[in-house]
Structure 1
Amino acid sequence: MSHINSSPLANLAKQVTDRKQDHIDAVLNDPLVERNTQGFENIRLMHRALPECDFANIDTTTTFLGKSIRFPFLIASMTGGASQNLGDINRHLAEAAQACNVPMAVGSQRAMIVDEAAKQSFAIRKFAPDVPLIANLGAVQLNYGFGVDEARRAIDVLQADALYLHLNPLQEVIQPEGDTNFARLAEKIHLLAEQIDVPIILKEVGSGLSPQDIELGLAAGITLFDLAGRGGTSWSRIEAHRSDNDLGILFQDWGLTTVESLRLSEPYQEKAQFIASGGIRNGIDMIKAVIMGGRLCGVAAPLLAPAQESTEQVVARIEQFKQEFQTAQFLLGIKDIDALHLNTALIAPL
């Protein structure tokens, strides 16, 4: 990459891979990284004692990026890098995505831009030939030398159907080596969207998207958004493990919850499609998110430990989500996903 001098490249590559391992260790070893405040617990649904449908015929299928998928579940971004275990995690996730017919997003591909050895961990199309795959770069990197060439490299290695540009200003401020120049990013996102051949999805990483963010994205030509609200994994707390101050602890619950972000997205439902993520931990959370406007539900943390073990364990966890989701759909008396989406009559009055 022409914008990074070759002399510090090895140190940068090691730093990126080490950081990804630190992130995984924090998720697995600090139970307070999981905040459990996404807001779904305050929503009650209208149970149907006479659902007037056959559980066996409940249709959970939907489409995403032009491909049919089994239910509105997305294996959300987790990792990728030069070390063997990071590659194994992505392989297990990709094989499970194929087996369960659900889409998958990878973690930030900056690792493979600065370190060729990391590329293999993102070359997962061979494990998931038929499902939607989403490449991933930090939007802020557009202010640090990245552009259309790096985006195309990220897309090409996955043969991706879309590109996440993740937005993580809080994480970058807390991160000791963070990149914090977010000035005029919307303009650069617009320029990039005009030059690449797959859709861009703007994604937060756990603090939610506000209406102002959605409007900036729409003005930049973006029509796909991952709300990624507060309440699940706190990246501020994760980065606090790597910092020498308590700023990350103070801000560990900063932002909009997933439920708040979904409610605020309502005026934009005709102009854009939204992925709900951030603390979705079971099929009932998923049902609530779809009712509130999510076309898809992103899940990461519950799959991380299984992904370290085997493809089979990831498949089993996804199948559990599927059973929970289908059961909730049946108990609402809803036969297909289209009748579920934005059907707020299914929410019980307070």
Structure 2
Amino acid sequence: MISDRKLEHLEICKNKDIEHHITTGFEDIQLVHTSLPEVNYEEIDTSIELFGKKLSSPLIISAITGGHPSSKKINEKLAIATENTNIGMGVGSQRAGITNPELTDTFTVVRDNAPHALIIGNIGAPQVEYAPKAIEMLNTDALAIHLNPLQEIIQPEGDVDAKGYVEDIKAICSNTNIPIIAKETGAGIGMEDAKILEKIGVDAIDIQGVGGTSWAAVETYRAENPDLGNLFWDWGITTAVSTVEVLESTKIPVISSGGIRNGLEAAKAIALGSECVGMALPFLKHAYLGHNYVEEKINQFTHELKTAMFLVGASNIEELKQKRLIITGKTREILNELDIDTKKYARRI
């Protein structure tokens, strides 16, 4: 059953090593320090406008859970923290709550406890018929369409028929009146896919790259034979590379996520051009302790982000997007192979 699988996922993410063995690539990206920042730290504005709502910090708690009774308390704590700190929050795949009404409250608890927050719903690409109910369930501000071919091929009960994804997503975009986000689940999005997604009407892309939670790893713990999952544990595009690829190939908003763990990494992603960042696993682990711990993590993130902004002389997020970056190492090598000029980031004035 879907509900049982959701519980297994939660337990594995809480208790097992499920992160990629390779990094996000953000260690190859350096913001350029200024000794004359000419800003007052106390006046730095980290707020952004996203999907019609103003967030106090460019942060979204990425889709984590829903669909099992045990996930209700987690979503409740995450939602309370989201409302209290005025950031955004996504929920896990809503299919379980749509097809099993007794599980609906594991999702609706989010809007109940975050009535004013930016809430992002979640369905899979083949689930066109679920879109209206997913939106109605949470009065969502945006709807994420999750793309998870890697997870499906490793998952014991995975759906490995990926034909028709493009037409399905196009149909969802055509038949809904709220922003649609295409969202990977840990393997990143490349420039060609990004161009297709923009062309068929997607309003934003959440890249969810390699460097954080590996869903191949999660499913490896559930599989009878772990060999395939171990082999593809680190499959995908690193978060730093994927972020640049999507930004270089589209004009729609980009959410950078996948292994981002602090405000400094977020500052780098935003300086590349991302609208905001998503984080999941750290908030899941804090949610087991209580919403106050989640709020502490959010406030720590914002303090780290503001510190980076102070050190580059950015008084707001739009100014941060104009600050110089130096891209080195393997990240630069990969981007150069893709004919992306990494020097232009260092030439900003």
TM-score, with normalisation over the residues of structure 1?
Answer: 0.90
Q: How does 1:21-100 map to 2 (within 5 A)?
A: 21-35=7-21, 37-83=23-69, 85-100=70-85
Mapped pair 1:202 → 2:187: no
Task: State whether residues 264 and 304 of structure 2, in contact with CA within 8 Å, keep that contact through their aligned partners in structure 1.
Answer: yes
Cα distance in 2, alignment partners of residues 33 and 267 from structure 1: 27
Output the CA distance in 1 between the equivalents of 2:21 and 2:103.
Answer: 30
| Counterparts of residues 30-179 of structure 1 (less than 5 Å) | 30-35=16-21, 37-83=23-69, 85-123=70-108, 124-139=110-125, 142=126, 146-148=127-129, 150-179=130-159
- Residue type of the alignment partner of 1:162: A
1:313 matches 2:293: yes
Q: Distance in 2 between matches of 1:184 and 1:120?
A: 31
Superimposed CA distance per residue, residues 85-130 of structure 1 (whole angstroms, 9 cap, x where no aligned partner):
2000001111111100001000111111221111001112121111
Distance 1:184 1:159, change over 3 A: same
- Which residue is equivalent to 2:324? 345
Higher alpha-carbon deviation: 118-127 or 231-240: 118-127
- 1:34 Cα deviation (Å)? 4.9
Provide the identity percentage: 40
Letter in 1 for 2:242: S
Moved more, 207-216 or 232-241: 207-216
Aligned position for 1:247: 228
Alignment-derived partner of residue 322 in structure 1: 302
1:267 aligns with 2:253: no
Cα distance in 2 between the residues matched to 1:326 and 1:25: 34
1:234 maps to which residue?
214
Describe the superposition over 1:210-258 as per-residue Cα deviations: whole angstroms up to 9, x where unpaired.
Answer: 1111111122111310011001000001000011221111101001000
Structure 2: gaps spanning 5 or more residues = 330-349
In 2, are the aligned partners of 1:35 and 1:233 still within 8 Å (CA)? no
Give the equivalent residue in structure 1 for 2:165: 185
In structure 1, the residue corresponding to 2:83 is in which secondary structure?
Answer: helix
- Give yes or no for contact 2:29–2:325 (8 Å, CA) kept in 1: no
CA distance in 2, matches of 1:252, 1:25: 18
Deviation (angstroms), 1:40: 0.8
Q: Is the 8 A contact 1:78 1:107 kept in 2?
A: yes
What SS does the corresponding residue of 2:255 show, helix, strand or coil?
Answer: strand
Gaps of 5+ in 1: 1-14
Describe the SS at the equivalent of 2:54. Answer: strand
| Pick aligned residue for 2:265 from 265, 274, 285 | 285
Give the Cα separation in 1 of the matches to 2:314 and 2:101: 48
Distance 2:200 2:20 in 1: 33
Specify the code of the residue in structure 2 equivalent to 1:253: D
SS of the residue corresponding to residue 31 of structure 2 reads coil
Cα pair 2:191 2:245 within 8 Å, conserved: yes
1:348, CA displacement in angstroms?
Answer: 7.1
Structure 2 Cα separation of the partners of residues 250 and 349 of structure 1 = 28
Alignment partner of 1:294 is 2:274 = yes
Q: Separation in 2 of the partners of 1:268 and 1:113?
A: 35
Question: Are 2:19 and 2:211, in contact at CA under 8 Å, matched by a contact in 1?
Answer: no
Structure 2 letter corresponding to 1:17: S
Q: Is the CA contact 1:206–1:235 (under 8 Å) kept in the aligned structure 2?
A: yes
Distance (whole Å) between structure 2 residues aligned to residue 213 and residue 349 of structure 1 = 25
Runs of 4+ in 1 over 2 A off after TM superposition: 31-36, 266-269, 346-350
Secondary structure, counterpart of 1:248 in structure 2: helix
- Cross-structure match for 1:257: 238
